[in-house]
């Protein structure tokens, strides 16, 4: 084991995020200032926390391997079947741009990780911006961007932009306040200015990836005590023609993945700090994202599905209201930059 080094879960999460499949161990060692002999301890530590990492040797080079345990939906088809389609996508939600407690630095972190993994598709499940609530007197105090122009322009100027990567998004309850206040829709201006951001709908949207139907859903009600209860109800009320293979639910700022009635359901965590409202009501707030590993047949039926939960710890989040808006730059990666 490693001596005189940090062995906390926060540290493990940090290094696990950095480690990529096929990354030479020297790259990692120089970044974190470890000797090569200490790397074995790092691998042990990751495995202690349930992160399956190993070292492999290819052409005399020692490289990392991240081994995800895949959940078999059916035992009939082997994962090695060349006829299966394999897709990896990233899912984010509830960025609430303009709120004092937005966490753009964590959104950037997730996009950078997606880029490192070669992911081309990101889905955003609503509440891009914090909106505007004229009937809530406390609202202006909680935001550094208040009106439609400020928040919409911030999405255009600051949302991560990576060559070859497309973000598909729906609008949620907070985005919709701008429509309710004066008929303004974020998607209208974002579509004109950001070719890498594609709008799928207000509250609900659908996309198919290799015929795998994915439904993005942003409800409008409050969260229940049990994180699984509301998603189960969402699946039960789906019309049969609407029923997707994967259901992604935003809005609840919770994190939960389960399979129910042949639907793979993921409640997607948010990327903002706990709001004053949540604090007062004692509502929990999960900050993170998901990476989905999907193997499907030619008809779009899922054969293997692995939802990888990324949760940011308290240390990763910035509470100071000004820090994120002042310090964080737009994440922009051009082809061949890395
Ligand atoms: Fe939200
Ligand atoms: Fe919402």
Ligand 1 center from residue 175 Cα (angstroms)? 9
Q: Which of 234, 229, 236 is nearest to 204 (CA)?
A: 234
Considering every ligand atom shown, identify the ligand nearest to the alpha carbon of residue 277 and give its number. 1
- Phi, psi of 188, deg, nearest 5: -60, -50
Q: Please state, in angstroms and rounded to a whole number, the distance separating the CA atoms of residues 147 and 201.
A: 21
The tens digit of pLDDT for each residue in 90-127 reads 999 999 999 999 999 999 999 999 999 999 999 999 99
The tens digit of pLDDT for each residue in 285-314 reads 899 999 999 999 999 999 999 999 999 988
Return the axis-axis angle of helices 25-32 and 9-18, rounded to nearest 10°: 130
Ligand 2 center from residue 252 Cα (angstroms)? 7
Ligand 2 center from residue 280 Cα (angstroms)? 17
Domain 9-66: which CATH class?
mainly alpha
Quick check: 1 pLDDT over 70? no
What is the pTM for the complete model shown?
0.79
pLDDT at 76: 59
Q: Do the domains 9-66 and 72-333 sit in the same CATH topology, yes or no?
A: no
| Domain boundaries of the chain, sorted by first residue | 9-66, 72-333
The confidence band for 189, taking pLDDT boundaries of 50, 70 and 90, is very high
211's CB contacts (< 8 A; 6+ apart) are 296, 298, 299, 300
Ligand 2 center from residue 263 Cα (angstroms)? 22
Q: Which segment of 157-166, 241-250, 296-305, 311-320 scores lowest on mean pLDDT?
A: 311-320
Quick check: 4 pLDDT over 70? no
Q: Which of 197, 234, 76 is nearest to 246 (CA)?
A: 234
Counting Cα atoms < 13 Å in the Cβ hemisphere of 9 gives: 8
Q: Please state, in angstroms and rounded to a whole number, the distance separating the CA atoms of residues 295 and 125.
A: 22
CA 305 to chain CA centroid, nearest Å: 16
Ligand 1 center from residue 252 Cα (angstroms)? 7
pLDDT at 81: 75
Q: Please state, in angstroms and rounded to a whole number, the distance separating the CA atoms of residues 176 and 204.
A: 12
pLDDT at 12: 78
Query: Which homologous superfamily is 72-333 in?
Result: Metallo-dependent phosphatases (3.60.21.10)
Ligand 1 center from residue 297 Cα (angstroms)? 34
Element (H, E) at 16: helix 9-18
pLDDT at 69: 54
């Amino acid at each position: 084991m490693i001596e005189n080094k940090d062995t906390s879960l926060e540290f493990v999460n940090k290094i696990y995020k950095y480690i990529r499949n096929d990354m030479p161990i020297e790259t990692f060692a120089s970044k974190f200032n470890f000797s090569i002999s200490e790397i074995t301890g790092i691998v042990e530590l990751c495995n202690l926390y349930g992160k399956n990492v190993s070292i492999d040797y290819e052409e005399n080079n020692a490289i990392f391997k991240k081994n995800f345990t895949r959940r078999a939906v059916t035992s009939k088809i082997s994962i090695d079947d060349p006829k299966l389609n394999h897709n990896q996508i990233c899912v984010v939600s509830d960025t609430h741009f303009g709120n004092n407690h937005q966490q753009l630095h964590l959104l950037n972190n997730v996009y950078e990780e997606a880029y490192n993994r070669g992911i081309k598709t990101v889905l955003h499940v609503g509440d891009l911006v914090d909106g505007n609530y004229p009937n809530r007197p406390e609202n202006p105090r909680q935001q550094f961007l208040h009106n439609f122009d400020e928040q919409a322009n911030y999405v255009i100027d600051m949302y991560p932009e990576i060559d070859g990567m497309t973000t598909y998004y729906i609008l949620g309850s907070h985005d919709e306040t701008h429509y309710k206040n004066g008929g303004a829709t974020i998607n209208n201006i974002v579509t004109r200015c950001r070719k890498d951001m594609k709008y799928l709908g207000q509250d609900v949207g659908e996309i198919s990836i290799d015929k795998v139907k994915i439904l993005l859903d942003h409800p409008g009600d409050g969260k229940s005590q049990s994180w699984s209860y509301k998603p189960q109800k969402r699946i039960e009320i789906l019309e049969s023609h609407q029923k997707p293979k994967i259901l992604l639910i935003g809005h609840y700022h919770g994190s939960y993945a389960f399979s129910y009635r042949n639907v793979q359901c993921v409640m997607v965590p948010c990327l903002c700090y706990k709001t004053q409202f949540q604090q007062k009501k004692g509502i929990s707030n999960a900050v993170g994202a998901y990476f989905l590993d999907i193997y499907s047949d030619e008809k779009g039926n899922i054969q293997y599905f692995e939802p990888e939960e990324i949760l940011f710890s308290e240390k990763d989040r910035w509470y100071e209201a000004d820090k994120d808006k002042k310090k964080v730059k737009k994440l922009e990666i051009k082809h061949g930059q890395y």
